[in-house]
Amino acid sequence: MTHIAVIGLGIMGLPMAINLVKAGHTVSGFNRSQDKIDKLVAKGGAGASSIADAVADADVIITMVPDSPDVEAVVGGADGVFANAKPGAYWVDASTIRPDVSVRLAAEAAEAGLKAIDAPVSGGEAGAIEGTLSIMVGGEAADVEAVRSVLDAVGSTVVHVGPTGSGQTVKAANQLIVAGTIQLVAEALVFLEAHKVDTEAAVKVLAGGLAGNRILDRKAAGMIARTFEPGFRVDLHHKDLGIVTAAAREAGVAIPLGAMTAQLMGALRAEGHGSLDHSALLLLVEQLSGRSSK
């Protein structure tokens, strides 16, 4: 049993914290909104009044917040993680942020006496609830092994992909593939509907062939029904694609389809759909096709 602090109890962080409680760990949680803390307490966790309070006695500190500036805000300053965690604690950043920021913050963590691991996740809200997240982990091998049991409590695929920052780089590639696949599934569904094909039957046969993918499995039914309850919001995927395009430019890598998908995601957000699930790319395909939504 390990004492774990979870900073950020949102769509992903809260179910992850609950699964850590179920695994037998002592979990302290902090979030800007008290209702999320109350939900963790109701499941057997402990609420913290501040970041400093949450991390003071923690062996492992997990941060799960939206973007690079948010991570910088929770780890820095007099009330942040670095100033209040005990020496030798492991800091696991499960957020999705820029790889260069991850590397820089890991160096700052080391100066504060902490062991830094970047461990962004994939699988959306469903994966977080089910404890089946895919976790791409960057950091020193010994540090990764030291927290593996913690990561195994929230994910079913936990892979050490390289040194610090590598997890964030792999997550960027993940977001590139996911966005592109959603876009293609959206185009295929609008195409099928235009030809008055039974889309549910079509999805069933497509999912069983070479076109099969997790987007068809997890998202197609909601896309057909036009229900876009956020498992992963457009706003966040828009942010992630900004990370991808910036990192690709820095490395001199061409991502023409990825760049186009990033533009489409940005356009969907500009239309006011930032709070919807990223599968709402279907709405943009309909708009571009001159077709009204169901």
Nearest to 112 by CA among 79, 138, 83: 83
Nearest to 76 by CA among 59, 88, 91: 91
Residue 257: pLDDT over 80: yes
Domain around 234: 170-288
Instruction: State the residue for tokens 């062939």.
Output: 209
Query: Do residues 273 and 145 share a domain?
Result: no
pTM for this one? 0.92
Which of the listed residues 163, 179, 207 is the one where a domain comes to its end?
Answer: 163
Query: Do residues 15 and 103 share a domain?
Result: yes
Q: Which residues contact 229 (CB under 8 A, 6 or more apart)?
A: 222, 277
Which of the listed residues 135, 163, 191 is the one where a domain comes to its end?
Answer: 163
**In this structure, is residue 108 part of a structural domain?**
yes
Query: Do residues 49 and 153 share a domain?
Result: yes
Q: 241-250: per-residue pLDDT in tens?
A: 999 999 999 9
d(CA 263, CA 271): 12
Q: How many domains does the chain have?
A: 2
Q: Are 74 and 93 in contact (CB under 8 A)?
A: no
Nearest to 120 by CA among 76, 60, 69, 71: 71
> What is the percentage of the chain residues whose pLDDT exceeds 70?
99
Report which residue type is found at 64. M
Query: Do residues 157 and 174 share a domain?
Result: no
Catalytic sites, residue numbers: 171
Average pLDDT over residues 268-282: 98
Residue 251: pLDDT over 80: yes
Q: Where are the beta strands (DSSP E) in the chain?
A: 3-7, 26-30, 46-47, 60-63, 90-93, 115-118, 121-122, 133-138, 155-162
Average pLDDT over residues 195-211: 98
Residue 294: pLDDT over 80: no
Query: Do residues 33 and 126 share a domain?
Result: yes
Residue 160: pLDDT over 80: yes
Query: Do residues 178 and 225 share a domain?
Result: yes
Query: Do residues 252 and 277 share a domain?
Result: yes
Nearest to 118 by CA among 53, 58, 50, 71: 71
**In this structure, is residue 293 part of a structural domain?**
no
Average pLDDT over residues 50-77: 97
**In this structure, is residue 39 part of a structural domain?**
yes
Give the model's confidence band at 293: pLDDT under 50 very low, under 70 low, under 90 confident, else very high: confident
**In this structure, is residue 294 part of a structural domain?**
no
d(CA 278, CA 237): 7
- How far is C-alpha 226 from the geometric centre of its chain's CA atoms? 23
> What is the percentage of the chain residues whose pLDDT exceeds 90?
97
Q: What is the CATH classification number for the domain harbouring 269? A: 1.10.1040.10
Query: Do residues 10 and 151 share a domain?
Result: yes
Which of the listed residues 106, 131, 163 is the one where a domain comes to its end?
Answer: 163
Q: What's residue 1's pLDDT? A: 62
Q: 76-93: per-residue pLDDT in tens?
A: 999 999 999 999 999 999
Q: What is the CATH classification number for the domain harbouring 99? A: 3.40.50.720
> For all residues of the chain together, what is the average pLDDT?
97
Residue 224: pLDDT over 80: yes
**In this structure, is residue 78 part of a structural domain?**
yes
**In this structure, is residue 28 part of a structural domain?**
yes
